Structure 1
Amino acid sequence: MRQYIRSTIAMLRLSWQTTPILTCGLFLLDIALLVSSAGLPLALRATVDATTRGAVDTAVGAAAAAAAICTVTAVVNSLHVSMRNRVIDQVSETRLKPRIARDIATLDGIEHLERSDYLDRVTLLRGSAWGVAEGAWAAITTVFTALRLGLVLLLMGSVSPWLVGLVVFAVVPLWCNKRGRTLVNRAEIDSAEAFRLQRHLFDLTTSADAGKEIRVARAGAELTRRQAAAWDDAMVIRSGARLRATCWRLVGWAAFALGFVGALTVVVHSYSRGSASAGDLLLAVSVAATLESAVQAAVNSAGEALEAERLMHAYTWLREYAATERSRAVGTLPPPEVLRTGISLKNVGYTHPGSHSPALEALNLSIPAGSVVAVVGEFGSGKSTLGKLLCKFYRPTTGTIEVDGTDLTELDTALWRARTSAAFQDFGRYPQTTLRESVGLGDLPRLEDGSRVERAIRAADAEALVASLPQGLDTPLGQTFGGIDLSEGQWQKAALARAGMRSDPLLFLLDEPTASLDAPSEHTIFEHYMRHASALARRTGGITVIVSHRFSTVAGADLILVLGDGRLVEQGTHEELMERGGIYSDLYDIQARAYSLG
């Protein structure tokens, strides 16, 4: 609850910063509605009592006041709804959505994108920025509704002190509703993973990329069955919680109905004995009716607040996670202009969040400046994890990575990334850009540098790709957005060209960079990048790291690292490793025989 209050205050502050006039106006409208909830029954009582006394002028004036209050209330209610929606729209669209996206996309590492607890919160918040912003105003509505209930009970107490006891029955539906909403909120979190799975399977079965394989394998029915099963798993949890919540609400309203009937019985009995006037009777009846609507409003607003609490909790969790990540030791030192000694790994280990077995363990090695290093090994041996550590996507769980003797964590991440170039196997596709822009994004300050883009295109052996497009480098990409769709290999060539945009990286990482290319293209590209690595070594002492499962592409590397089960099992040149007759030699021979047979 304390966290929810803090989140509400923060959200109201954000509303004030975004649109102060509308925010102030909303509070004034809430106050006007609060006053009118007491003013109307008082005006009606005055009208009846004045009529029974024969005070016509007073009765007419009180009736006019009642009519005016009704009119103002209707206008204020309409204004309140439209103004509240406007404020929530402004805050969610201009502040919250950009903030959520920024917290996800601008953290230094990518560990959060691989954590199930983080992704569960993201699933809840996907498209729910409006609900987060609404949460603060749901809390304010709940406060004003509680004040309205207090005023109503005071008015009933003026008729008979016994009627104040109705507050006990008014609290029961609120408590029961809170109990029910807590069950629903817990179920939403518990079922988030199953819900995320069914959404992924739905996207998979309806995407063009997977469509061909699904149809050839005739796997559509099975994937649909699994999607339905995941949906059922999520709905069983959620539906069960909603059913129990409904039972709690029924209990609460049944208790209130008993108290409500008892309160009206007390008022009628007092009037029959002459201890209450006709105006008191009308006041009590109208206030009792108002109390019912006030309790209903309180239950609804409390339900909205509790529903929003789930979203606000997820939002606050993400914000605190982002703040914690940014508060961890952040490097401030610039990377060296030129590498002198190279990169050293000292007892480096890494374990993925939630995993019990390390992806890398006790890694000790030195990578000389200006060298070409190949990292090979079977799938799951830790090759890509090593590349991510070098790029500062992960922080080592144990040990240190040093760049010319300086701990990598002490280097400014943005500056280190500015001296890093990389092409990954799971490369990015950037629809709604031209090919020129898609390549130029590899070095954003030089996005418009035509000569640099063309040089990167040549390095990736992508001139034929440019020639095949109707508008060359200025061809829009992405069929979904009205552009030209590329094949897997063409997208990979664009990614390789993007990686070649920077001219002076200290680290040039190629992580399975040609997995989608044919053998001639692969050979041409590696020849070029070997020449590029030599030029890079002369200019900056830069290190080129090639992660590959194709041994024929790494034979010319200065140093070959063989990983197995997260450990460094062999290292040396191609000739040294072949002469040693170990794991590398066996794998190389197996692959060579496979290619010769092919």
Structure 2
Amino acid sequence: MRKLRTYARLHAELFAVSMRIEPGITLMMIAGMVFGAFTFALTAVGVKVTVDAMADRDTTMAIIGGAVAAAAYALDWVIGALTGVMTKMLIDKAGHTGIEPVVMRSAAGVPEVDHLEHTEFLDRVTALRGQSWAVIWGFTLAVRAIAQLLRLILAVVLLGSVSPWLLLMFPCVALQLWLDGRGQARERRADLALAEDKRIQAHLFDLCISGSAGKEIRATGAGPELIERHDAAAERVRSTRLRGQLSGGIWRAAGWVVFAIGYTVSIGFVAAQVGRGEATAGDVMMAATIGALLRDVVGQAVSTATNASGTVRVLEPFLWLREYASEHQDTEARTPAPTRLDRGISLRHLTYTYRGTDTPAVDDVSVDIPAGSVVAVVGEYGSGKSTLMKLLAKLHRPVSGSIQVDGTDLAAIDTAQWRQAMSAAFQDFGRYETSFAEAITIGDLERGGHDALDAAVAAANAEGLREKLPDGDRTQLGTKFGGVELSEGQWQKVALARSCMRAEPLLFLLDEPTASLDAPSEQAVFDSYMARAKQIASATGSITVIVSHRFSTVAGADLILVMKHGRLIESGGHEELLAADGAYADLYEIHATSYS
């Protein structure tokens, strides 16, 4: 019952969406479907009137009855064709303009990014990808199901007026629908089971046609192995789908056998009644007409029910996605973000564990970061540095502990405002295949402007890249849309420039910002960033946090945090940590030796 109420509310919302986007088409489609149920009944009644009038030698009534039957039959086909066209128009427009944005907002509107790494979430997004139209289709099928139910009710009334024996076929129809639903459920489970293999198949295909991965694939000779794995995933998808379709087909076939038996037996009883002279010629013809049309009516009803049941494979992920997005909103984070930092940011027993693992990525970290400071976070791979950065950006929610911003828990600060008050360049930066200017100014859409773009490009030491572009700032980046492909280092410079679009961020996060740059470019970028960080800090008390494996670039930081296995094992200034002769000193010595 709870699920029925949920779907009823969903269809009411979809009706509102359809009315907002295409009110005229929506109302005409519904009216056509409902009116079509009565044209079906009028056809049978017209036939009965015609035959009875002919038996009574009433020519006028026979002509009227025949005209009604013919007109109703023709009108039923015309209305069916028109509602079909209107349904397609509504599905196409409302599905893409009304539903697809909801799916995108549900995926992108969750403040954290944990869900983007979970198969449970990704499986549902895979089921919805390119299927937004099917959500609106589910609504139109619900309307059609109501119209088909009305047809069946009218058929019950008319058949019951001829002989109660004809009503025996309706329990058979109900059983057929139930068996058909069981078959659809088998197919839905198969669709969900193959979602992961479909993602693997798509990923391997993308790798094989990728320009960036293509070099390594050819150099390593991994192509045949990737193709073999792609074929194996495709075979698993095919076999899983085939098993689901075969199982579902058996259930549906059983349902049709039940209906065929019920239909045959019911008509047989009526034939016997006619033989005893217990029905008029008009009753016989009406029963025959309804019997002839009933197959189409029941077939359409079954098809509608089957299709409506089939859309559950889209509606269920759609409902799940909306519920997930609603449950993971920061409804209690209403404290305005500060406009400046006076004391700084304090971490108190901060702990975070990724879903599906038992070992914390950040484990009981406590430290005070003074306002206006430049902080470097160092440590081996997998020590928790990047996770710490994401926690500061509210991209993960701590399992325990807290982050205090001038004494206020970060969890209570409005997430959107906090993001507007910070800027970041992450290790796995985005590659936006748009114009050079847009790929940078997306870092602060409200600011924009040519002067801001110039300042961001200069801060990232990306003037040389800009000068080489064939169409300057309007140059299309990336080959997907016929643009210019950039090297890894050039893409990173674009990302760095994007992070500099905000003039005075309170928190500036740089996660391996120069990992793809050569040594001279790296040094130039760090010199620029250090100078910029000091300048911003003097005005707003902002904090800059830098993650880097290259120790020569972080020696000038005010505070250095040394991470290992998710824990903070050392903190202090460069000279202080060298004098302590601990983990930082060892790492610095290894780094210096490798470079010398």
TM-score, shorter chain, exceeding 0.5: yes
Q: Secondary structure at 2:186's aligned position in 1?
A: helix
Shift of 1:469: 1.4
Q: How does 1:109-508 map to 2 (within 5 A)?
A: 109-326=112-329, 328-335=331-338, 337-433=339-435, 435-448=436-449, 450-508=450-508
Partner of 1:58: 61
Shift of 1:574: 2.2
Contact 1:135 1:312 in 2 (8 A): yes
When the two structures are superposed, what TM-score results if normalisation uses the length of structure 2? 0.96
Amino acid at match of 1:432: T
Q: Secondary structure at 2:20's aligned position in 1?
A: helix
**Structure 1: how far apart are the matches of 2:583 and 2:229?**
40
Q: Deviations over 1:307-341 (max 9, x none)?
A: 11221111111111112222542233231x32221
Amino acid at match of 1:588: Y
Q: How does 1:493-532 map to 2 (within 5 A)?
A: 493-532=493-532
Shift of 1:467: 1.4
**Structure 1: how far apart are the matches of 2:303 and 2:283?**
29
**Structure 2: how far apart are the matches of 1:103 and 1:568?**
35
Contact 1:154 1:164 in 2 (8 A): no
Q: Deviations over 1:120-146 (max 9, x none)?
A: 111111111100111011112122212
**Structure 2: how far apart are the matches of 1:31 and 1:391?**
54
Q: Deviations over 1:152-173 (max 9, x none)?
A: 1221211111111111111121
- The worse-fitting range, judged by mean Cα deviation, of 360-369 and 227-236 is 227-236
**Structure 1: how far apart are the matches of 2:179 and 2:311?**
17
Could you tell me which runs of 5 or more consecutive residues in structure 2 were left unpaired when the two chains were aligned: none
- The worse-fitting range, judged by mean Cα deviation, of 520-529 and 187-196 is 187-196
**Structure 2: how far apart are the matches of 1:76 and 1:338?**
66
Q: Deviations over 1:272-316 (max 9, x none)?
A: 221123322222222122222222112111111111122111111
Corresponding residue to 1:16 among 16, 19, 22: 19
**Structure 2: how far apart are the matches of 1:306 and 1:485?**
46
Aligned-residue CA RMSD in angstroms?
Answer: 1.6
**Structure 2: how far apart are the matches of 1:564 and 1:286?**
82
Q: Deviations over 1:180-236 (max 9, x none)?
A: 111111222222222222222222222222122112112122112212222222333
**Structure 1: how far apart are the matches of 2:241 and 2:565?**
40
CA distance 1:327–1:369, shift in 2 (3 Å): closer
Q: Deviations over 1:209-267 (max 9, x none)?
A: 21221121121221122122222223333221211110001111111111111122112
**Structure 2: how far apart are the matches of 1:498 and 1:327?**
26
Partner of 2:571: 571
**Structure 2: how far apart are the matches of 1:235 and 1:579?**
63
**Structure 1: how far apart are the matches of 2:249 and 2:476?**
53
Q: How does 1:579-594 map to 2 (within 5 A)?
A: 579-594=579-594
Contact 2:111 2:330 in 1 (8 A): no
Q: Deviations over 1:446-495 (max 9, x none)?
A: 212x2222122122111111111123223232332232222211111111
Partner of 2:70: 67
**Structure 1: how far apart are the matches of 2:105 and 2:509?**
26
Q: Secondary structure at 1:331's aligned position in 2?
A: coil
Amino acid at match of 2:492: Q
Partner of 1:540: 540
Shift of 1:354: 3.5
**Structure 1: how far apart are the matches of 2:191 and 2:475?**
44
- Give the ranges of 4+ consecutive aligned residues of structure 1 lying more than 4 Å apart after TM superposition: none
Partner of 2:34: 31
**Structure 2: how far apart are the matches of 1:60 and 1:236?**
59
**Structure 2: how far apart are the matches of 1:118 and 1:86?**
30
Contact 2:123 2:195 in 1 (8 A): yes
Overall identity of the aligned pairs, in %: 45
**Structure 2: how far apart are the matches of 1:559 and 1:26?**
67
**Structure 2: how far apart are the matches of 1:60 and 1:8?**
44
Amino acid at match of 1:561: L
Q: Secondary structure at 2:354's aligned position in 1?
A: coil
Amino acid at match of 2:583: I
**Structure 2: how far apart are the matches of 1:460 and 1:119?**
34
When the two structures are superposed, what TM-score results if normalisation uses the length of structure 1? 0.96
Q: Deviations over 1:530-577 (max 9, x none)?
A: 111221221221111111122222222221111111111222222222
Amino acid at match of 1:443: D
Contact 1:115 1:354 in 2 (8 A): no
The total of aligned residue pairs comes to 593
Q: Secondary structure at 2:255's aligned position in 1?
A: helix
Q: Secondary structure at 2:569's aligned position in 1?
A: strand
